[in-house]
Amino acid sequence: MEAGGLEVVATPIGHLGDLSPRAAEALERVDVVACEDTRRTGRLLEHIGVRTPMVSLHEHNERERVPALVARLEAGETIALVSDAGTPLVSDPGFRLVRAAREAGIPVTPLPGASALLAALMGAGIPSDRFCFEGFLPAKAGPRRQRLEALAGEARTLVLFEAPHRIQACLDEMVEILGGERPATLARELTKRHETFLGPDLAAVAAAVASDPDQRRGEMVVVVGGAPAPDPDALDEATRRLVNRLAAELPPRRAAAVAADITGARRNALYRYLQEGEGDQ
């Protein structure tokens, strides 16, 4: 029997009008819908008047369910893979099924649509030509701080998801580690009735969330501007001490040249530092 196909279908993140006609047709046509929560997906299917059978596929049973689903695909069935909301596999289960289907030579067809990640970038007003998606940060404070410290120097825009009960602690730690002046937007309840964008920087977002309990409810995406480029003329303390010592024995230009050879700092920056009188402080 000819193998069927796996269709990876994006569903709305809130507004049901965002379900594409192609996605609706697929959900009606396939033999079964593999979904995280059959109750939630069932409401979507009911909304579009579809009674396609469903099977649960979530983070706790994916490994066990994949072989049986691949067997059904190999037997000629067509399966739609959906998440609870938005684009499957983006901080959601499903990649094991996609990988297994491809390894079995079964066609995999993505049906793109709504994505909280991209919707947040669209409305944030923060550079999105290059960005780094971090999914959910660790739930515990220690590992979360470690991850933020590792991301502090990331030049690309950061995008992450966060749970309502952790958002305040997460934002407070971001202010401390990344800096309150860092451009930031909290996108909350995207495409829903209470859609909200808070900004323009981490300090303002953290303050707004702290002062309004309503901002600690719903689905959340945090967008943070990348780390500013380092100043090429910035001098560290050791370099300043060295050029100061040299300047006590040599003319400023010569002191700057020698210090540049030793440290790799820019000679013009060293000379300007001496000329501006900072070396006497």
Is the CB of residue 255 less than 8 Å from the CB of residue 246? yes
Paired strand residues for 132: 158
Contact between residue 72 and residue 32 where contact means Cβ atoms under 8 Å apart: yes
Residue type, 193: R
Residue pair 274/243 in contact by the 8 Å Cβ criterion: yes
Q: Looking at the domain that runs over 117-224, which CATH code has it been given?
A: 3.30.950.10
- The reported pLDDT for the residue numbered 281 is 42
Which three-class secondary structure state does DSSP give residue 27?
A: helix
In this structure, what token pair is assigned to residue 32? 């079964």
Evaluate whether 5 touches 106 at the Cβ level (below 8 Å).
yes
Kind and range of the H or E run holding 44: helix 38-47
What is the distance in angstroms between the CA of the first residue and the CA of the last residue of the chain?
A: 84
- C-alpha 267/C-alpha 274 separation (Å) is 11
- Residue 76 token pair: 């000629």
Chosen CATH of 5-114 out of 3.30.350.10, 3.40.50.140, 3.40.50.11540, 3.40.1010.10: 3.40.1010.10
Residues counted in the chain: 281
Looking up tokens 């590792």 gives 150
CA torsion through residues 132, 133, 138, 141, sign: positive
Coil, strand or helix at 130: coil
Q: Give the three-state DSSP class for 134.
A: strand
Give the pLDDT confidence score for residue 235 in this predicted structure.
86
Per-residue pLDDT of the chain (281 residues; tens, 9 = 90+): 456 899 999 999 999 999 999 999 999 999 999 999 999 999 999 999 999 999 999 999 999 999 999 999 999 999 999 999 999 999 888 999 999 999 999 999 999 999 999 999 999 999 999 999 999 999 999 999 999 999 999 999 999 999 999 999 999 999 999 999 999 999 999 999 999 999 999 999 999 999 999 999 999 999 999 998 776 678 888 999 999 999 999 999 999 999 999 998 889 988 888 988 754 44
Give me the pLDDT at residue 279, please: 43
Q: Closest by alpha carbon to 183, among 130, 137, 152, 227?
A: 227
Write down the pTM of the prediction: 0.80
Cβ atoms of 259 and 249 closer than 8 Å: no
Within 13 Å of residue 91, how many CA atoms lie on the same side as its CB? 18
- φ, ψ of residue 37 to 5 degrees: the values are -130, 110
Q: What is the pLDDT of residue 228?
A: 87
* Strand 184-188 versus strand 196-198 pairing type: antiparallel
